[in-house]
Structure 1
Amino acid sequence: MKIAITGSIATDHLMTFRGRFAESLVVEQLDKISLSFLAEDLEIRRGGVAANISFGMANLGLRPVLVGAVGEDFADYRSWLERHGVDCESIHVSETKHTARFVCTNDDDQAQIATFYAGAMGEAREIELAPIATRVGGLDHVLIGANDPEAMRRHTAECRSRKIPFIADPSQQLAFANGAFIRDLIEGADWLFTNEYEAHLTEQKTGWSGEEILQKVGTRVVTKGKDGAVLLRQGQDPIEVPALTVTAVEATGVGDAFRAGFLSGLAWGLEPQLCAEVGSTLAAYVIETVGPQEYHFTADHFLTRLEDTYGAVAATAVRPFLIPS
């Protein structure tokens, strides 16, 4: 099964200020604010929802097609993804803008001052899916993740017109989108991914009830953090999938890893519940690691964790698809 992953590709520049931003703010002078903070450390992490999902799928032995827009500064990041098995041939490279970048400083209170530079991501709207499908011999699914809004709209419309099954994963863009835009993104999707908060936000902004959304999409997959995930399908009982027991370190990219595992299971032809169990297992590695693409595992270790939580039947079903250690 060939799956294209569309969405953001970015780098995160994370700094730490040993102090409190609040101590440098003068309420009466906020209209003239001019501040500089001495950061004690800097971490540069590879990120972006589409890149994170593609990285996870590649680590499970698949070769996802990554679709997004980057700048000419993407060379090292591209090399990293390709070494891990991601197909990067359909990435658009801007001639004028840098790869999207998130620059954030945290203080000792975990307050943040951050800026997101969209940069080349704005050119993702220029990407057409048809040539990509031709290059790889057809697409079985397209995941439409958080991205330039017009790119999300275009990819969704093209999937509908070309009858390519699509997976709606609007995530961060839900906060900024209006109801009409969200309705346009999700109607007709085979799968709709959100977290618990985003699920409520989707209903609020679209004006559709949970049951009405199930009439518009095939399956809703709602992640609930430490409480696992639930699969919702019209006329069927919810399927609850518990999360693994973990020692949480940092949560960035955990939802992307869940999607990567779920889509890998889908590509292997597994039942939805088992897809979610694979997704939860992969997500455990991310939350135990600093950075969304810094984890690693062996097939044996992955299968052991899967079996410990979900049983021998789950591990037996997944074992044939994992690259031996």
Structure 2
Amino acid sequence: MSKPQVIISGSIAIDRIMNFTGRYRDLIKPDKLHVLSLAPLLDKLENSQGGVGANIAYNLALLGEEPVLLGSVGSDAADYIKLLESVGVDASDVHISKLPTASFNVITDSEGSQVGGFYPGAMADSQSLSFKPWQGQSALAVISAHDPKAMNRQVEECQTLAVPYAYDPGQQTVDPTTDLKKGIGGALVVVANDYEIGSLCDRLEISVDDLKNQVPVLITTLGTNGSLIEGTAVAKPLQVGIAKPREVVDPTGAGDAYRAGFLYGYLRQWDLEKCGKLGAVVASFVVEKHGTQVKFSTGDVVGRYKDNFNEEIEL
């Protein structure tokens, strides 16, 4: 059986990543949340390419995959699209909008806690993005966080066309227009961090146990505690540790990198624990630098996998 083609729908954004050496919990007064006002002095500010869909596609391409990226950008992202294509991302289906490219602005404290804001811009102009060309083909769609209406439409499309898909609602778990029940209902894989899993369960008024009994593979990323893989297709919960980075500079984008590593293995029918370990290794490179798209080689990945998990892999 041939390996499925992976098609990733999701945001393509220009990120502004900021850091400060303090801790949010030292700045937030619980009795003043109704008048919350924070303005930490920043130590670092950097503009970089990002967006969930683009980050996943970028990291998959560095692993040797040939991902197709579905997204919408403004004309201001021409150089960014060229960069993605230069590493092996198929961006021929990216829509060029008259609106500016989406932008994510985030401030990270010394503990990795983050407060951010997202301007959708061209991301909202995504009516033309469709999985129809892959109907009847060997393909895996990845519906990651972007415009909620487009996500809902793409879920419906995948279910109608029988295109298998992974569901990664991300920050859109809190958006009331995101049809989470429909999204998880037909997904082969659902992935989110522990905060997003909590939001998803709150929205659906179910427990985490209920959720894992509705999804073949449920992945909860846990930051420095690794990841948890469970679900109806998992005999027993798999706790996967992190791969140790040389240093921790910024966690932004680590979750997207984990998804790329996991998907690389999943497309090749690796066992799920091995998929999670590869996700951990890819994520470890991202936290070492500012920005969500860093450079690494397949040799780097193979070496770090062996160092952390005492196992050999081939990419």
Q: Please indicate, yes or no, whether the TM-score normalized by the shorter chain is above 0.5.
A: yes
Instruction: Tell me, yes or no, if structure 1 residue 90 matches structure 2 residue 93.
Output: yes
C-alpha separation between the residues in 2 aligned to 1:122 and 1:130? 20
> Would the aligned equivalents of 1:4 and 1:139 in 2 still touch at CA under 8 Å?
no
Which segment drifts farther, 275-284 or 182-191?
182-191
Alignment size in residue pairs = 298
SS at match of 1:293: coil
Pair 1:268–1:113, CA change in 2 (3 A)? closer
- Structure 2 equivalent of residue 157 of structure 1: 156
Q: Check the 8 A contact 2:174/2:200 in 1, yes or no.
A: no
Report the Cα distance in structure 2 between the residues aligned to 1:230 and 1:114, rounded to whole angstroms.
25
Q: Residue 292 of structure 1 corresponds to which residue in structure 2? A: 292
TM-align CA RMSD: 3.1
Structure with greater helix percent: 1
CA separation of 1:90 and 1:237: change in aligned 2, threshold 3 A:
same
Q: In structure 2, what residue type is equivalent to 1:50?
A: G
Greater Rg, structure 1 or structure 2?
A: 1
Q: CA deviation at 1:237?
A: 1.3
- Percent sequence identity is 34
Report the Cα distance in structure 2 between the residues aligned to 1:293 and 1:177, rounded to whole angstroms: 30
**1:27 maps to which residue?**
none
CA distance, structure 2, for counterparts of residue 188 and residue 111 of structure 1: 32
3-state SS of paired residue (2:212) = helix
- Deviation per CA, 1:37-71, whole angstroms, max 9, x where unpaired? 99997522000000000000000000101011111
1:184 equivalent in structure 2: 182
One-letter amino acid of the counterpart of residue 223, structure 1: T
Other structure's SS at 2:125 match: helix
Give the corresponding residue for 1:7: 10
Tell whether the 8 Å contact from 1:125 to 1:154 is kept in structure 2 after alignment: no
Q: Structure 1 length as normaliser, TM-score?
A: 0.82
Structure 1 range deviating more: 56-65 or 183-192 = 183-192
Counterpart position of 2:125? 123
Cα distance 1:301–1:14, how it changes in 2: closer, same or farther (>3 A)? closer
Unaligned runs of 5+ in 1: 23-29, 31-36
Match of 1:34 in 2: none
Deviations 1:99-144 (A, max 9, x none): 1113467899x9999653211100123322213x27xx83521111
- Name the aligned partner's letter for residue 192 of structure 1: V
Flag the 1:162–1:90 CA change in 2: closer, same or farther, 3 A: same
Amino acid at match of 2:198: H
Aligned to 1:171: 170
Using the alignment, how far apart are the partners of 1:239 and 1:300 within structure 2? 26
The answer as to whether partners of 2:20 and 2:109 remain within 8 angstroms in 1 is: yes
Contact 2:214 2:231 in 1 (8 A): no
Q: Which amino acid aligns with 2:172?
A: Q
Equivalent position SS for 2:213:
helix
**1:62-77 equivalent positions in 2, closer than 5 A:** 62-77=65-80
User: Which residue number in structure 1 is paired with residue 257 of structure 2?
Assistant: 257
The worse-fitting range, judged by mean Cα deviation, of 68-77 and 230-239 is 230-239
Residue 51 (structure 1) aligned to one of 50, 54, 60? 54
Cα separation, partners in 2 of 1:226 and 1:113, compared to 1, 3 Å = closer
Pairing of 1:275-290 with structure 2 (within 5 A): 275-290=275-290
Number of the residue aligned with 2:308: 309
- Separation in 2, partners of 1:264, 1:88: 18
Give the structure-2-normalised TM-score: 0.85
Aligned equivalents of 1:107 and 1:290: distance in 2?
Answer: 13
